[in-house]
Amino acid sequence: MRDARKKFMRAAIRLARKGMNKNSGGPFGCVIVKDGKVIARAHNAVTDLNDPTAHAEVVAIRKACKKLKTFQLTGCEIYASCEPCPMCFGAIYWARPDKVFFAATREDAAQAGFDDDFIYHEIDLTHAARKIPFEAMQSKEAVTVFDEWKIKPDKSVY
């Protein structure tokens, strides 16, 4: 099992290098495995797709969910070439895989110019104090949609 895990991580690292060398985005790769088989793989494609959410983990999660025809990755393992950023961390939790393995740390990424630490700090700030100010509006109107969701009999709970 350990040898297989090393093989999957090496594949994620190779994807990171491949994407970087193609100038698709930063040096990040991801492989998603279920029952010992790779079901999805991706490298960072932010600059290639002009999509700030096209991180390797997010792209791989989208591919895996499409392949499995589900919105959750129960029974899967994620192999990321680097510790996931806050966005990918959130996406991973929503996808609910069984386990995540990563190679480089977020400190290693910061040394290479990918410092997401400021995002962790921004989350704890008040809406107005953030670098990108957040302002709530039309709360009552939006809450009525949540009220409708609560009583919707045919909803897909996730």
- In this prediction, residues 120-146 reach a mean pLDDT of 92
Give 147's Cβ-side CA count (13 Å radius): 6
Give the pLDDT band (50/70/90) at residue 2.
confident
Q: What's the token pair of residue 20? A: 């970087």
Task: Kindly name the residue from 57, 77, 83, 135 that is annotated as catalytic.
Answer: 57
Is 83 a residue of the active site?
Answer: no
In angstroms, rounded to a whole number, what is the distance separating the alpha carbons of residues 99 and 75?
A: 9
Provide, for the chain, the percentages of residues in helix, strand and coil under a 3-state DSSP scheme, each rounded to the nearest 5: 50, 15, 35
pLDDT of residue 115: 86
* Residue 158 banded pLDDT, cuts 50, 70, 90: confident
Q: Structure pTM?
A: 0.92
Q: Give the three-state DSSP class for 100.
A: strand
